[in-house]
Amino acid sequence: MTDIQYTPRELIVCAAARLLSDGESVFVGTGLPLVGALLAKKLHAPNMMAIYECGAVDPEPRELPWSVACSWTCYKAPIILSMSSVFGHSRAGYADVGFLGGAQIDMYGNINATCIGPYDQPTVRLTGSGGANDIASLSDRVIFMGLHLPERFPEKCDYITSPGFLDGPGGRERAGLLGQGPWRVISHLGVMGFDDETCRMKLISYHPGVTPEIVQQFTGFELLIPDDVIETPKPSEEELRLLREEVDPNQLFCF
């Protein structure tokens, strides 16, 4: 590991990239998820197949796309489908991982990207689902990335845009959803997973300079903290070099 300085966003992206495996199909969202997927492909997963909501499959973007609808997501793509087609492939079970962000995520991994406050009289109206609901409902595993604050990690989301485990154990099955559901949550404080029995969020690792107590302090519900929780490994020199020189050299997302 290295003592090179890195930003919180760079640590989030490196932690996310490590979770992706070679040969997986990954449905990529806009922002840090997109950066993490591209970093993983350059680092250790050259055969990872990125799927974009616009319909592009497995492109080789010459520049970092600014969103999943950016034309760079189509560059050298062996196939470009319609939006309905790529979601149809997910419904058929071909999306191993869904990579998402949002404004809120609760203790059961439900995600809110629609509104803060009551739906009919919100204090903030957000962008809404886009394809996030489909990705969360149909992918085998879901990774969430976002900032870690009590209002962003409430006990219950103000609105469920994208389903996690809904109301707890058996929630996804009762709703007829596919896949295992929420798998990992990566914030600027740590990496979380979900308990197999209760489906509640649990701490897996805390980032350098952070403690489990600090992670809990910035969480709006009781976070499960196992005895084997560890410190997140720092970004390596190679991870930072590829991220800064080849993936996001203009600091579009990792500033």
| Structure confidence by residue, pLDDT tens digits, 209-247 | 999 999 999 999 999 999 999 999 999 999 999 999 999
Q: Are 141 and 21 in contact (CB under 8 A)?
A: no
Q: Is the pLDDT of residue 1 over 50?
A: no
Q: Which whole-number Å values give the CA distances from 87 to 28, 37, 97, 185, in the listed order?
A: 12, 18, 13, 23
Q: Which of 10, 24, 53, 239 is catalytic?
A: 53
| Active-site residue flag, 246 | no
Tell whether pTM > 0.85: yes
SS3 98: strand
Gap between the Cα atoms of 116 and 220, Å rounded? 15
So where are the chain's domains? 8-247
Q: Are 48 and 41 in contact (CB under 8 A)?
A: yes
Gap between the Cα atoms of 52 and 37, Å rounded? 11
Residue 130: its pLDDT value, please?
Answer: 87
According to DSSP, residue 139 is labeled S
Q: Which CATH architecture has domain 8-247?
A: 3-Layer(aba) Sandwich (3.40)
End-to-end CA distance of the chain: 21
